[in-house]
Amino acid sequence: MQPDPDRFAVIFRSQRTPGDHGYEAMAERMLDLARQQPGFLGVDSARGADGFGLTVSYWASEAAIEAWRQQADHLLAQRLGAERWYEQYSITVAKVLRTRGGPGTKGL
């Protein structure tokens, strides 16, 4: 039996500022870009009416996460995020140990 392949999770917590200020368009663009990055495995995102959001993306390696962090357009989005879109945010990188699904689970 092969061991599970490595998988890393990037947990992005953020509190949005009020108003859009180009956020939705950039968020969609970043999602498209992330999907094209080598080692990208998947992403989930949820934001409540209070503006607090969680995005968890999954990657095949720490090198893939680092490459995404340094991607040029993503660097611009990070700058605008810090200046304009987020009151606060944090990023946690974690190594996935195991995943189990309940009934009806699709994808990850």
Tell me which residues touch its own copies (CB under 8 A).
8-9, 11, 13, 44-49, 52-56, 62, 81-82, 86-106, 108
Least distance in Å: CB of 37 to its own copies?
19
Contact yes or no for 86/16 (Cβ under 8 A): yes
Question: Would you state the structure tokens that stand for residue 76, as one six-digit string?
Answer: 């611009």
Least distance in Å: CB of 85 to its own copies?
10
Closer residue to its own copies in complex, CB, 17/71: 17
Closer residue to its own copies in complex, CB, 36/48: 48
CA nearest to 17, candidates 54, 46, 51: 51
Q: Which helix H or strand E contains 28, and what residues bound it?
A: helix 23-36
Distance from C-alpha of 88 to C-alpha of 48, rounded to nearest angstrom: 15
Least distance in Å: CB of 17 to its own copies?
11
Closer residue to its own copies in complex, CB, 70/100: 100
Closer residue to its own copies in complex, CB, 19/102: 102
Beta-carbon count within 10 A of 104 CB: 5
